[in-house]
Amino acid sequence: MADKLIIVESPAKANTIKKFLGGSTKVVASMGHIRDLPKSKLGIDVEKDFEPEYINIRGKGDLIKSLKKDAQNAKKVYLATDPDREGEAIAWHLAYILNISQDSICRVTFNEITKETVQESMKHPRKIDMNLTDAQQARRVLDRIVGYKISPVLWKKVKRGLSAGRVQSVAVKLIVDRENEIEKFIPEEYWNIYAHLLEQKSKKDFEAHFFGKDGKKVEIHSQEEVNNILKNIENKKYIIEDIKKSEKKRTPAPPFTTSTMQQEASRKLGFTLKKTMSVAQGLYEGIKVAEKGVVGLITYMRTDSTRISEEARNAAKRQIINQYGENYYENRYYKTKKDAQDAHEAIRPTYIDLTPEKVKDSLTLDQYKLYRLIYHRFIASQMKNAIYDTVSVDIKVDKYNFKANGQTLKFKGFMTLYVESDDNKKNDKNDEDTSLPNLKIGQEVKLKNIEPKQSFTEPPARYTEASLVKALEEKGIGRPSTYSPTITTILERRYIEKEQKQLLPTELGKIVNNLLVENFKDVINVEFTAKLEEQFDNIADGKENWKNIIRDFYGPFKITLDKVEKELEHVKLEDEVSDVECEKCGRMMVYKYGKYGRFLACPGYPECKNAKPIVETIDVPCPVCGAKVQVRKTKRKRSYYICENNPTSCNYISWDKPKIGEKWEPDQKNEIKEIKKKKVTNKKKTTKKKKNKE
Active site residues: 300
Strands 653-654 and 588-594: unpaired
**CA R_g for the chain:** 31
Q: Please state, in angstroms and rounded to a whole number, the distance separating the CA atoms of residues 348 and 333.
A: 14
- Partnered with residue 587 across adjacent β-strands are none
Half-sphere exposure of 81 (CA within 13 A, CB side): 23
Judged by DSSP in three states, 503 sits in strand
**What ranges make up the beta strands (E) of 156-268?**
189-199, 204-213, 216-217, 238-250
**What ranges make up the beta strands (E) of 279-432?**
287-289, 293-295, 386-397, 400-411
C-beta separation of 622 from 628 below 8 A: yes
Burial class (CB in 10 A: 0-12, 13-18, 19+), 651: middle
Using alpha carbons, select from 501, 520, 436 the residue that is nearest to residue 638.
Answer: 501
Using alpha carbons, select from 223, 227, 191 the residue that is nearest to residue 210.
Answer: 191
Q: Please state, in angstroms and rounded to a whole number, the distance separating the CA atoms of residues 682 and 680.
A: 5
Using alpha carbons, select from 436, 390, 406, 397 the residue that is nearest to residue 240.
Answer: 397
Half-sphere exposure of 139 (CA within 13 A, CB side): 25
Q: Please state, in angstroms and rounded to a whole number, the distance separating the CA atoms of residues 294 and 283.
A: 11
Number of CB atoms found within 10 A of residue 31's CB: 14
Residue spans of alpha helices (H) in 73-194: 85-97, 115-122, 130-157, 168-184
Distances (CA, A) of 675 to 628, 679, 684: 19, 6, 14
Q: How far apart are the first and last CA of the chain?
A: 46
Using alpha carbons, select from 462, 595, 473, 593 the residue that is nearest to residue 530.
Answer: 473
* DSSP output for 55-94: EEPTT-HHHHHHHHHHHHTEEEEEE---SSHHHHHHHHHH
Half-sphere exposure of 340 (CA within 13 A, CB side): 19
Q: Is-cis flag, bond preceding 647, omega within 30? A: yes
Number of CB atoms found within 10 A of residue 221's CB: 11
Number of alpha helices (DSSP H) and beta strands (DSSP E) in the chain: 18, 26
Give every CB contact of residue 570 below 8 A, 6+ residues apart in sequence. Answer: none
